[in-house]
Structure 1
Amino acid sequence: MFIRKKKNKSTLINGVRKTFVKIYYAFEKPYSPVPFYLNKYDKAIRPLVKTNNIIKRFYKREELVVDDYENLESITFKSQDGIELAGFVYTPNKESNKWLIACHWFAGHKCWALHHAKIFTKMGYNVLVFDFRGHGNSQENSTTMGLREEYDLLAAIEWLKNNKKIDSLALYGTSMGGYCVNYVSLKYSEELKKLNLKFVISDAAYGSVYRLLIHVRNIYLKIINKKKTKKIVLKIMQKHNELEQDVDFGKASVFELIKKGYKPIFPTLFFHSKDDKVTPPTDTYEYLLERNKYIEDDYLIYSYSMHTQAIRQHFLSYNYKLASFISKMDNNKADFDRVTKEWSLVEFSDQDQDEKNSN
């Protein structure tokens, strides 16, 4: 289902998002099936038919294809502030009440979250994915890098709670989606504990909007000195706060939550690359150190990877680590052994690895 769009505010982040959406669309277009073939499918399913082609021809990973469309249900629901959101419920494991909610990256959409989460279905999970506000088929609205998107994730959790039985729940997010699952699982830990949330997967996430903007400025505008960069970033945030009025980008930070006394209770697996040109890997390092005071997490930091693309560039080791972590959390060695054999997964090689957990 496609939801009616409306005009949003002219902020820098909205402008960047629109630019990247156009870039992604231009990238995806050559992979789109011919209209005659595409028109055979329901309109809501067609974006997934397109991304399946990209998975086959660009990712070159048939394992991540999701083409059993009979197991896919298109849904809509409202965010806590009334924004209409579009989602998919994917149920290849009909007898299972284990659920994953997967969140896409900035300027991405729900199909990518579903592809990247495919190994969960091999471990007995069903999956809910959705488009954040202003993305994909959801209602147009300002992107706030996690501030209002928090409401979208909470609404997805509420939909699942009201419509499905949840014996076990996991959250998985990439980039902006990673920030959201980290923030929500920290801020609403007691509520999520009651819903049987067991663990979280964070891939290439940032810890705060301020640090994200500083990192991007330092990477792409190195000619500007650091003191001036901070002033520019604070000015950008102030302007956004004035335009959006009900948001404060300075509060978009998992570090601020910890300072306020929120304690992590859900084990989290962190992925990042030390050469990430978009999100700061130092945020993952620091967040791990802060969390280590309360809980034992796991991590895999690559020496190199394009932003959001570790699963493509390091397919075998990424999915091995992911399946291993799920197996540990669920005590499910049988499915782990099965998928590692079926997908020929291998543990990460030292020559490609910057840091590795002793586990």
Structure 2
Amino acid sequence: MNQFILEKLVSGLNKTNLHKDIYQTIGWEQLLNLYKESLTATYLDNNYEFEEFNGWEKVVVDNKLHAIVHLNKKPSRKWIIACHGYTSSKESAALGAWCFNKLGYNILAFDFLNHGESAAGLVTFGINEVQSLEQVISWVNQTYKVNQIGLIGFSMGAHTVNIYALKPGVKHKKNKVKFIVSDSTYYSIKDVLVILGKIKFQLIESMFNSIKQSLIEYYLSEYNIDLLEYDLNTLKNNTKNTVPALFFHTKADNITDYRDSERIFVLRNSLTKQDQIKIFNKGEHLQAQNEYFSEYNKILQEFLSQIK
């Protein structure tokens, strides 16, 4: 495929810092509050509890990953680390993870590279992203007294925590990571490239299924990034250890396919019997928690009750 076209496609896929101007004008605090106000206005009946929502603080991990931290009002050594989706940011992930506050967790949400306020970098849909997640986990363990860390990811962030849970050589026990929550994940990088191609490059939508292999080869030749390195099936076959996972998805998701969550759940079955999955009927991409607020949180609490 034409080199110029591939360069333009990669450039388009990496236009992910959608809030740059907002950070410069109103700052992350106002953006976080705007997300909160929008959420409560849209879902008035869900009884979101934001009494303790003030007190978020900004931190920077390894001089490049910007994060916000909320310490529980009751001193706690339990942490949840939240990973946002493609083109999103730490502020939306913080809202998605807020349900953990009433469960006694401290919360950290961070921006992946080339998102939010973090440093520029290549978006790799899981490869660089899991490295950033590992850096954040290490920082939390070095900075605070920690007994337990949980990970929650949304869409691309969900794929990232799924990789982390299966990645060979990861020392979950040493890192104190006890569980993951995967919300609206995808299974294959090939599938998600086609989805993003249809969304971002509508003029060549019909061609994108054939273009995806050229994009994968371009990432490898130009950036030495193998987008297929963390194929979940391969990871599962090369590891003996994982942590319990809870999967959420909706059948009405118009971005990622709920059957991807089902595939990963089945894939992991030989490693652990503690996984749980809930597929809701309605709700667009990443809306399971909002559409089924009470049930979502009940399932989450029941899942966490088994975590030691």
Category of TM-score, reference length = shorter chain: 0.7 to 0.9
C-alpha contact (below 8 Å) 2:10/2:215 kept by paired residues: no
* Letter matched to residue 47 of structure 1: L
C-alpha contact (below 8 Å) 1:66/1:115 kept by paired residues: no
Report percent identity of matched pairs.
Answer: 28
C-alpha contact (below 8 Å) 2:72/2:106 kept by paired residues: yes
Q: Distance in 2 between matches of 1:264 and 1:280?
A: 26
Residue 141 (structure 1) shift: 1.8
Structure 1 residue runs without a partner (length 5+): 1-8, 30-34, 331-359
- 1:205-264 deviation per Cα after TM superposition (whole angstroms, max 9, x unaligned): 11221132345669989x95xxx7653221222223333x220112242222123x1134
Residue 320 (structure 1) shift: 1.8
1:309 maps to 2:287 = yes
Q: Which moved more, 1:85-94 or 1:207-216?
A: 207-216
Match of 1:285 in 2: 262
RMSD (CA atoms): 3.0
Match of 1:47 in 2: 31
C-alpha contact (below 8 Å) 1:166/1:196 kept by paired residues: yes
Aligned CA distance change for structure 1 residues 21 and 175 (closer, same or farther; 3 Å): same
Normalising by structure 2, report the TM-score.
0.85
- 1:126-162 deviation per Cα after TM superposition (whole angstroms, max 9, x unaligned): 1111111111111122211111111110111011011
* Letter matched to residue 293 of structure 1: S
TM alignment of 1:150-229, pairs within 5 A: 150-187=130-167, 190-214=170-194, 224=206
Match of 1:272 in 2: 249
Residue 120 (structure 1) shift: 1.0
C-alpha contact (below 8 Å) 1:93/1:125 kept by paired residues: no
SS of aligned partner of 1:63: coil
C-alpha contact (below 8 Å) 1:119/1:323 kept by paired residues: no
SS of aligned partner of 2:262: helix
Match of 2:9 in 1: 12
* Letter matched to residue 291 of structure 2: Q
Match of 1:235 in 2: 214
- 1:181-202 deviation per Cα after TM superposition (whole angstroms, max 9, x unaligned): 1111211565121132211100
Q: Distance in 2 between matches of 1:100 and 1:77?
A: 16
Q: Distance in 2 between matches of 1:270 and 1:10?
A: 35
SS of aligned partner of 2:307: helix
Aligned CA distance change for structure 1 residues 189 and 69 (closer, same or farther; 3 Å): farther
- 1:100-127 deviation per Cα after TM superposition (whole angstroms, max 9, x unaligned): 1111111111111111111211111111
C-alpha contact (below 8 Å) 2:249/2:258 kept by paired residues: yes
- 1:45-101 deviation per Cα after TM superposition (whole angstroms, max 9, x unaligned): 22212222212223435515476433x2210012xxxx7110011102442101111
For 2:48, which of 63, 75, 87 is the aligned residue? 63
SS of aligned partner of 1:319: helix
C-alpha contact (below 8 Å) 2:164/2:170 kept by paired residues: no
C-alpha contact (below 8 Å) 1:52/1:66 kept by paired residues: no
Q: Distance in 2 between matches of 1:162 and 1:117?
A: 22
C-alpha contact (below 8 Å) 2:28/2:91 kept by paired residues: no
SS of aligned partner of 2:171: helix
For 1:258, which of 215, 219, 236 is the aligned residue? 236
Q: Distance in 2 between matches of 1:183 and 1:66?
A: 34
SS of aligned partner of 1:45: helix
C-alpha contact (below 8 Å) 1:207/1:255 kept by paired residues: no
Kindly tell me the number of residue pairs found equivalent between the two proteins.
Answer: 298
C-alpha contact (below 8 Å) 2:17/2:116 kept by paired residues: no
* Rg larger in structure: 1
Q: Distance in 2 between matches of 1:51 and 1:131?
A: 16
SS of aligned partner of 2:58: strand
Aligned CA distance change for structure 1 residues 264 and 276 (closer, same or farther; 3 Å): farther
Q: Distance in 2 between matches of 1:158 and 1:184?
A: 13
C-alpha contact (below 8 Å) 2:113/2:129 kept by paired residues: yes
C-alpha contact (below 8 Å) 1:209/1:249 kept by paired residues: yes
Aligned CA distance change for structure 1 residues 278 and 120 (closer, same or farther; 3 Å): same
Aligned CA distance change for structure 1 residues 252 and 294 (closer, same or farther; 3 Å): closer
Normalising by structure 1, report the TM-score.
0.74
SS of aligned partner of 2:48: helix
- 1:31-55 deviation per Cα after TM superposition (whole angstroms, max 9, x unaligned): xxxx9xx6xxxx4422212222212
SS of aligned partner of 1:148: helix
* Letter matched to residue 303 of structure 1: N
Match of 2:84 in 1: 104
